[in-house]
A and B are shown apart, each in its own frame.
Chain A
Amino acid sequence: MHSTDSHTNQSSVESHAEFNPQVESLLVRAHSLAAFATLLLAVCFGILVSLQFVFPESLGAFPSWGRMRYAHTQGIMLGWLGNAFLAFMYHAVPVLSGRPVTSRTLGQCLFAIWNFAVMIPGWILVLSGFSQPLEWAEFPLPVDVVIVVGFILAAVQFLPGFFKQGFENLYVSSWYIIGGLVFTLLSFPMGNIVPELVPGAAGAAFSGLWIHDAVGLFVTPMALAILYYVVPASTGKPIYSHFLSMLGFWGLFFLYPLNGIHHYIYSAIPMAAQLTAIAASFLLGLVVIIVVSNLMLSQRGFGLIPKNIALRFASMGVVFYLVVSLQGSMQADMSFSSLVHFTDFIIGHSHLAMLGFATFAGIAGIIHAWQRLPGFSLDAKILDWSYYLLVFGIWLMVLDLTLAGFVQGALWQDATPWIDSVRASAPYWAVRSLSAIPITLGFGLLFYGLLSSRTESATDQAASSGNEQNRSDTTQKGAIGSVGFSPALRMSYVAAFVCGIGFFVLSVSILGVIPFQSLQDETALLAPTASLALSPAQERGRVIYAREGCAYCHTQQVRYTESDLRRFGAPSLAWEGRKDTPHMLGTRRIGPDLARASGTRTDQWHLAHLYAPRTVVPASVMPGYPELFEGSADRPGREALDLLAYIESLGRERELAWPEGDERARALTDDERALMSLTAEALNAHPGRTRPLGSAPVLPSGELQGSDNSGLGEQLFRDNCSGCHGDSGEGDGPASSLLSPPPVVFAEHRYRRDLLTEILWNGIHGASMPGWRDLSLEELAALANVVDSFSLVDASSTTSPLLAAGQSVYETNCAACHGDGGGGDGFAAQNLPIPIMPTDFTREKLSEAAALRALREGVAGTSMAPWGDRLNTQEMTAAVHYVRSLYQEQIGDD
């Protein structure tokens, strides 16, 4: 006799287990309505966040961009999905376990805690500026504690039924619910608290674990529990294979936690941990194919768009799951990651996961539960419209962001100015905002559909609830259809459960603890002994930086890639973030990386940029922060100065780390990546920083540009220079009044081509004029032509009877700084209080009026003093004639 028969016999003994699936209808409804209310609010935050990219000036009345982004992501994950999953579990757990949930009162407490002690305070706090700058963990720690209490209550509410039922007959949805609740209880504190204690890249490793665990161990298990529940419940047929579903379950729970560090590929986190995450990501793709195949095969015969509306949402959820998971595996590939990481591709991916896969599963679960609420019926037409609007809106958004990601990635790989990627993204960001229309309408219709669901008459409802009460009063016996198992097999399930916990511990060890130790060792080896502590102002600035979500647009990690190295300097070493708690590595770049921000711009430029970003960068989409100022950019408040102090501290310690030379640091390590960082050509400081004039490439001559470039220079000038110099080079751009020295009025200056090239290439050290080395030589030449065209100064040599007198005045008063020959190289030039070099009169000719004005009044923001009270008019006129005569036309100059 084989074992099947013995099981059947045992089954007859055990088959009449208790079956009392009392569903708490009120809690299903309450959580469903709370889910949609929080969803609509979270979507509103998301729309405002997206509109910032399209109308960057128009959101002044709202809380800052970063705060709304925090509110958006936490609202979607905890408010919408948290409530949707709870609503589903109140319906499904009694059916799956054959027992009611633990307590209705406990349910009411959980509802109150989740919505009134987590969501509302969480939102109020992050919008008021109390938050933690950790992806998917933005609510502040006190709220996190309440969330943990919520998860514990949820475990107490939903899990005992399964334990009473025993594991021998546990359906896959039950496994996912148990796994999701238990793992989230473990991973949530790890992801929210540990990065507050562990600094820098090691903290990022733990943070990365949570970023993935939030999706992989909270959202995905719950969403799959719904899909595995709704699909057979809607088709009336069992799923294709329970074996495949269990293979998927264990595969997911083993591999998902090991994915976390794929968010930090090419970072300072040890390569072994990165490779582990990459391998797990690829394997996870295979597992997902198994899961999706099983779910697809379970819907055979029901068409691409099933009639049953819950099944229709579930079916599209499965498709979303397949696409988003394959994207995830691809993104872990190192070469693909180097292209798309930090771009909108990732934003599209995360929207597909949370708003596509998980949301469609959540909707399917809610619709299924509401269809079975006694006395409720939903309007099919409303749900139909909602489905099509959501499918259209989400695919439009995801495809749009995916394309935007490729465009941004390609531009970042090139040596184009950063702002080009912002400008190229504009149409995609507009479409993304437009996609919010069908999405919001779809969600609104669903919410309306639930609110307007038809109910039975009061008498019918009373009868119905009376029947429900009767059912709960009477313990009903029903077959749960169990097959008997030996004690050993039951133990194997327990062992498997322990294994599950072991997977979590394994992942935290491999991707958290071991990298932490390794990073500690590297830090101890390479960190400079003389540590630069942040000043109190810099510390306060760091808090503001975190509060306003700056890290969500500006990373602070130079990756080990060619394009990063070229743009931002040597890759970040582990020790650079050793005082960053929590870390600010970031996962998205709208603006450039700031790990080496120190010394790249003047304080005035930064203040103008913080107050009104488009005054200095016309195409910028950065929100302004006028609330940090006292009415104008030249009156910064304490917070603006603190933030400026923090920005100026970024990268300074690395720059000063090895004053005796990097050879000493290189001798300390044999780690390949550390050596790459230490031998990088653009070592230590930001490569875009201004440099002293001198070296510059030769620009192609005007003839070489060809007709294709007509208009290029004007466009470049408008995009990059007009904010300071004004549209026609009159030095009257919106930022001009904020800068000292003020921007040059090009009509009053004639630059020799080699000097103009040097200025464009190196910037003006000490002034707000940055170097434009990220423009191509052709672009620089076109820009130089435009600057030339503004000049009204005659380049021909100046003759005057006053030259001899002028020379005498010059030699007495000016040569110390400007040099005997007027080359700007006098003996005092190197020791000026402001490090802006004196004018080189041999290569720059001023108009007579401009020169006279500068001589009489001095030049603000430079070391050029006013001479009006020391020289008479005749002397000044003579000196001006003399310095204008020093201009030497370049041989071969046009």
Chain B
Amino acid sequence: MISNLIVFSSLLMAGWFTLQYLLKPGLRERVEQPKFAFLRQLSMYDMQTGAGAKSSSEDLHELNDDQDQLGHQVNNSSGETK
């Protein structure tokens, strides 16, 4: 039955990706990377145009902190995994 196939394949794919994400810290960092990059691009754009509510340099500092934190978590968890 096609409907069963769709349900099971969807759940399997989602489950597999979730497991990969949880078990592989490197993948986790890669997958989460774009959200930091995007905010950095936004800050740079705001700095260039003088727009934006927050100070862009503040944003960039916060971003770097956030990303460092993620990197630490990844390193720690990957160390634990090994």
Judging by beta carbons under 8 Å apart, are B45 and A171 in contact? no
Within 8 A of A (CB), among B36-66: 36-42, 44-46, 48-54, 59, 62-63, 66
How far apart are the CA atoms of A278 and B46 in the complex, in Å?
Answer: 45
Q: A247-B17, A275-B1, A510-B2 are in contact. Are A96 and B26 (CB under 8 A)?
A: no
Q: Are B41 and A96 in contact (CB under 8 A)?
A: yes
CA distance A374 to B30 in the complex (A): 34
Quote the shortest CB–CB distance from A316 to chain B (angstroms): 19
Main secondary structure of the interface of B (DSSP, over half): helix
Measured between alpha carbons, how far is A510 from B5 in the docked complex, in Å?
A: 12
Chain A residues closer than 8 Å to B82, beta-carbon distance: 2
Give A371 Cβ to nearest chain B Cβ, in Å: 7
In the bound complex, residues from chain B placing their C-beta under 8 Å from that of A237 are 39, 62, 66
A797 within 8 A of B: no
**Which residues of A (614-668) have their CB < 8 Å from a CB of B?**
none
Tell whether, in the assembled complex, residue B37 and residue A482 are in contact, meaning their CB atoms are under 8 Å apart.
yes
Contact with B along A472-507 (1 / 0, CB 8 A): 000010111111010001000000000000000000
Instruction: Among A2, A172, A239, point to the contact of B26 (Cβ < 8 A).
Output: A2
Across chains A and B, the number of contacting residue pairs, with CB separation under 8 Å, is: 139
Q: Is the CB of A236 within 8 A of B54?
A: yes
Q: B7, B30, B46, B74: which has the most chain A beta carbons within 10 Å?
A: B30
A543, B54: Cα distance in complex, Å:
59
The residue on A at minimum CB distance from B82 is A2
Residue from A2, A98, A234, A254 within 8 A of B78 (CB atoms): A2
**Neighbouring A residues of B10 by C-beta, 8 Å:** 251, 254-255, 283
Pick the contact of A371: B48, B51, B54 (CB < 8 A): B51
A239: chain B residues at CB < 8 Å are 35
Among candidates B29, B38, B74, residue contacting A96 with C-beta atoms closer than 8 Å: B38
Nearest chain-B residue to A21 (Cβ)? Answer: B45
Partner of B34, one of A169, A371, A476, A510: A169
Q: Is the CB of A172 within 8 A of B34?
A: yes
Residues from chain B with Cβ under 8 Å of A169 in the complex: 33-34, 37
Given A4-B78, A275-B3: A372 in contact with B52 (beta carbons within 8 A): yes
User: A700 in the interface, Cβ–Cβ < 8 Å?
Assistant: no
In the complex, A243 Cα to B28 Cα: how many Å? Answer: 8
A509 to chain B: closest residue by CB: B2
Contact of B49 with A480 in the complex, beta carbons under 8 Å: no
The answer to the question of A531 belonging to the interface, with a C-beta cut-off of 8 Å to chain B, is no
B residues near A236, Cβ cutoff 8 Å: 39, 53-54, 59, 62
Interface contact A4-B46, CB-CB below 8 Å: no
Cα of A476 to Cα of B49 in the assembled complex, Å: 13
- How many angstroms between the C-alpha atoms of A251 and B2 in the bound complex? 17
Q: Which residues of B contact A238 (CB under 8 A)?
A: 35-36, 38-39, 63, 66
Bound CA span A237–B65, Å = 11
Q: Which residues on B sit within 8 Å (CB–CB) of A476?
A: 48
Task: Establish whether residues A481 and B7, one from each chain, have CB atoms under 8 Å apart when the complex forms.
Answer: no
Q: Which residues of A contact B (CB under 8 A)?
A: 2-4, 7-8, 19, 21, 23, 94-96, 98, 169-173, 232-234, 236-239, 241-243, 245-247, 250-251, 254-255, 258, 272, 275-276, 278-280, 283, 308, 371-372, 374, 468, 471, 476, 478-483, 485, 489, 510
A-B contact pairs, 28 of them (CB 8 A): A2-B82, A4-B25, A4-B26, A4-B29, A4-B78, A21-B48, A94-B45, A95-B45, A171-B38, A173-B38, A232-B39, A233-B39, A236-B53, A237-B62, A238-B36, A238-B38, A242-B32, A242-B34, A247-B14, A272-B3, A276-B2, A280-B6, A283-B6, A283-B7, A374-B50, A471-B48, A483-B30, A489-B30
